[in-house]
Amino acid sequence: MIGKKRDKNNRRDTGRRKSNNQPIYEWNPNSDKIADNDKTISNVKDDFNQEEPHNNLLLEAPPQRELTKEFCYEISEWLVDNIDRDDVIMGTVHGSYLYGTAHKDSDLDLYVVVEKGKNKSKVLYGQDVQIMNLETFIRNASEGSHQAVEALNSPYKVFNDDSPYKDYIDSLRPSPYNFVKKCRSAGKAFYHKGLEENNAKKLRHAKRLNDAADAMINGTYSPVWKNIEEPNEW
């Protein structure tokens, strides 16, 4: 039996904990700077043990890949239930499936936050998973890393019901200023590389990151850029 990281009878309720459709960042129109009106990320003072706890569970097969929102929820649930760790905090689909730009040949990227251990990538049942410990995740989000902020704001994120950190993760409010700065910088780099290499994918990344920065400023940020269920050229 797969480990009971979440109550299967209440799986959707706990697996789709959102922010009540309210943006977690605010833009102060009376200021020429980005306002961070919510509490900022504090330093986690826990002594993170570098041993990685494992749950030694048998894996269940992942859901069949589809270009639907339902699949994005299901694969995030599958990730939390099947990652070979008993200290998992949350997991989410990431990359093109999160952005809504996936097509039938797109890679499937998964992102999971755990309490402790080394940051690494691993293959789980043929799926690429980025494993991030809590300390690094908080630091990256605070510094405006778009990958961390995207995971934090993912509408598909799923929590381990037994984790003592799920309420803390939900309360995090990274600095909008840092996020916008990082997005503009990365977007600019993708734009110039895309022009230089005539690479449409990099130009799309540039556009997405620039739009993300604009949305953060306007208080409407979401990592979902396009509707994955609508045909597009991405």
pLDDT one-digit tens code per residue, 46-61:
433 344 555 544 568 8
Q: What is the predicted pLDDT for the residue at 5?
A: 60
d(CA 155, CA 18): 6
Q: Which residues of 118-149 are buried (b: 16+ CB within 10 A; e: fewer)?
A: eeeeeebeebebbbbbbbbbbbbbbbbbbbbb
Structure tokens at 63: 């859901």
Of 170 and 194, which is predicted with more confidence?
194
Beta-carbon contacts of residue 142 (< 8 Å; ≥ 6 apart) = 40, 41, 174, 175, 178
d(CA 40, CA 65): 37
Q: What is the predicted pLDDT for the residue at 234?
A: 55
Q: What is the predicted pLDDT for the residue at 199?
A: 96
Q: Is the pLDDT of residue 212 over 80?
A: yes
Q: Is the pLDDT of residue 189 over 50?
A: yes
Q: Is the pLDDT of residue 79 over 70?
A: yes
Q: What count of other Cβ atoms lies within 10 Å of the Cβ of residue 28?
A: 12
Report pTM. Answer: 0.77
Rounded to 10 degrees, the C-alpha dihedral 36/39/40/45 comes to 180
Q: What count of other Cβ atoms lies within 10 Å of the Cβ of residue 70?
A: 11
Q: What is the predicted pLDDT for the residue at 86?
A: 86
pLDDT one-digit tens code per residue, 100-148:
999 989 999 999 999 999 999 998 888 889 999 999 999 999 999 999 9
Rg, the chain, Cα only? 18
Q: Is the pLDDT of residue 152 over 90?
A: yes
Q: What is the predicted pLDDT for the residue at 231?
A: 75
Q: In the β-sheet with 120-124, what is the strand arrangement from edge to edge?
A: 120-124, 127-133, 109-114, 88-94, 158-159
Q: What is the predicted pLDDT for the residue at 52?
A: 52
Domains, the chain: 8-23+46-173 (3.30.460)
Of 12 and 223, which is predicted with more confidence?
223
d(CA 147, CA 35): 21
Q: pLDDT averaged over the chain?
A: 81
